[in-house]
Chain A
Amino acid sequence: MRWLWIALAAFACGASADEPSAAVERGRYVATAANCVSCHTRDNGAAYAGGRSIATPLGPIHSTNITPDRETGIGSWTEEDLRRALREGIAADGRHLFPAFPYPFYTRLSDGDIADLYSFLRTLKPVRYVPPDNGRAFRLRWPMATWKALNLVVGAYRPDAARSAEWNRGAYLVQGPGHCGACHTPRDWSLATQSSEPLRGAVMQDAVKGGGVRDWFAVDLRATTQGLAGWKTEDIVDYLGKGASARAGSFGPMNAVIANSTRHLRGEDRRAIAVYLQSLRGTDYAGEAVSAEAAQAGGLLYAKNCRECHGPSGRGGPFDGPPLAGSAIVRGEDAASLINIILYGSDRSADIGSPSWEAMPAYALKFTDAEIAALSNFLRANWGNRAAPVTPETVAQQRGP
């Protein structure tokens, strides 16, 4: 008789070890698509233990410990607690969470994905770590209730039956776990991401190479001339998968997104994201342009310093460098990211990006503010590019104190 019990026990163990692990693996994938690790890990700190300082217009806020440590992490949370945090921005102890934690996007997560994510988070090694206190601006939590009442639309993503399964998968990934709009959608006066023009490009704050927090421009992701209209589906897939495509190379805040999230996604998911982004329409920029005179002033600087890699007509190439003609960074509504890459150079890790493009050098010490403004204006007004002029004052601001 004893063999029967052993067999039953083995069967029970086998079953219980098998099913949760499938859920854990799916949950790991959700965590990757949501890029939890980039924000919930401080430099040289334990993964998911929090403590990273995130720049906001109200000052820095520190990410929380989401390892299953019972006292300092979320070890005491139930699946329902996690669901409420993701869907409604309310912690297990009832406190309102600040939307630096992008629950206005995570609220779109499906029930299944939340359950899997919970299973995965439970498998992390508990780390005893209390992140630093936040500043004064973050003491009061009750105003968040009002903010949410005005801005938060709670609920999982609802598929659009008129669109393909691929498009809906892309929309889900972009609007939900991927939370692309947290950076790429402008925020209104209350710091809520605008629902009127999602993903039209926006100014955000993040660290530049060498330290210091500056403005960045997260580009227009729609199919507009100042956005990704010139990109093929394959270009977006390559960029998200490798950090470089025929259209652009990654730098700045996008590096962590590619390194920790998008390059680990399944190829079909990157394609779904691309298909969805390419369906987004918007108004092509037709505003103020750089004057013809200002457009020529930076030409010599370009010829001497940039042409070797970016080409005589700004088109770059597989063995040269990324193209500047048609670049969403060059054409950006705000020039912050263009100025940053000139001032500070590229900063991606060795394992992402084109194998043949050389690193963009930093020109902060070589060029004056006026020279960088002239160069930016040359780029923003030639080869079909059209964007508002850049002033030396803007460059000085990006250079920082």
Chain B
Amino acid sequence: MKRILAAPLIVLSLLPMASIADDQDVIDYRRHIMETLKAQTAALGMIMSGAIPDDNVVAHIDIIAATAATALKAFEPKVEGGDAKAEVWAKWDDFSARMNEFAAKTAAMSKTAHEKGKDEALLQAVDALTCKQCHDDYRVKKPAAEK
């Protein structure tokens, strides 16, 4: 009896979750994705500069490629704030094209890593990880964002 009652309750409690994300959730979600990219590129950078052995290179590249593919979706809800400039949505065509290019280039780098090895893949890193260029145009400069 308990089980019969509980089942619809669980279903009910799960259903609305997709739509109750408030603005802060949207901002937090895309921030989590960006922080994953940030941490993984930083880790890759340490390997590239020779500080850390390169055993995990392929894993880092795969995480970056997989995460890059999720990033555009996170910006689709038009919620200004966080570190995102309003230009993200004002110039959505350019923004989404560059996000797609980022996903494509990191996916290609991942493919190279699996097919030709990590050394070949690392040669593509600087060209694939052009975080700066997009941040220059679409991310709020730090001091203005807080205080």
Chain B residues within 8 Å of chain A by Cβ, number: 20
Closest to B133 in A: A355
For residue B103, give the distance in angstroms from its CB to the closest CB of chain A. 17
Contact A319/B142 with A355-B126, A355-B130, A359-B136 known, Cβ cut-off 8 Å: no
Cross-chain contact A305 with B142 (CB below 8 angstroms) = yes
Contact A317/B141 with A356-B130, A357-B132, A359-B136 known, Cβ cut-off 8 Å: no
Which of B38, B45, B135 makes the CB contact (< 8 A) with A318?
B45
A299 contacts chain B at the CB level, 8 A cutoff: no
The stretch that binds B, out of A191-199, A201-209, A361-369, is: A361-369
Main secondary structure of the interface of B (DSSP, over half): helix
Cross-chain contact B49 with A355 (CB below 8 angstroms) = no
A358 contacts chain B at the CB level, 8 A cutoff: yes
Which of B129, B136, B143, B147 makes the CB contact (< 8 A) with A319?
B129
User: Within 8 Å CB of B132, what residues of A?
Assistant: 355-358
Which of B126, B136, B143 makes the CB contact (< 8 A) with A362?
B143
A69 contacts chain B at the CB level, 8 A cutoff: no
Main secondary structure of the interface of A (DSSP, over half): loop
A282 contacts chain B at the CB level, 8 A cutoff: no
User: Within 8 Å CB of B135, what residues of A?
Assistant: 358
Scan A306-335; emit 1 where CB is below 8 A from any B CB, else 0.
001001000001111000000000000000
Contact A320/B42 with A357-B132, A358-B132, A358-B136 known, Cβ cut-off 8 Å: yes
Which of A356, A358, A366 makes the CB contact (< 8 A) with B146?
A366
A228 contacts chain B at the CB level, 8 A cutoff: no
Cross-chain contact B131 with A356 (CB below 8 angstroms) = yes
B112 contacts chain A at the CB level, 8 A cutoff: no
Which of B46, B126, B131 makes the CB contact (< 8 A) with A317?
B46
Contact A366/B143 with A318-B49, A355-B130 known, Cβ cut-off 8 Å: yes
Q: A317-B49, A319-B129 are in contact. List 15 more A-B contacts (CB 8 A).
A: A308-B38, A311-B42, A317-B42, A317-B46, A318-B45, A318-B126, A319-B41, A320-B42, A320-B45, A355-B132, A356-B126, A356-B129, A356-B132, A357-B132, A366-B143
Closest 5 pairs between A and B when the two form their complex, measured CB to CB = A317-B45, A318-B45, A366-B143, A319-B41, A319-B45
A/B interface sample: 12 pairs, CB < 8 A: A246-B49, A305-B142, A317-B42, A318-B48, A318-B49, A319-B41, A320-B42, A356-B132, A358-B135, A361-B141, A361-B142, A361-B143
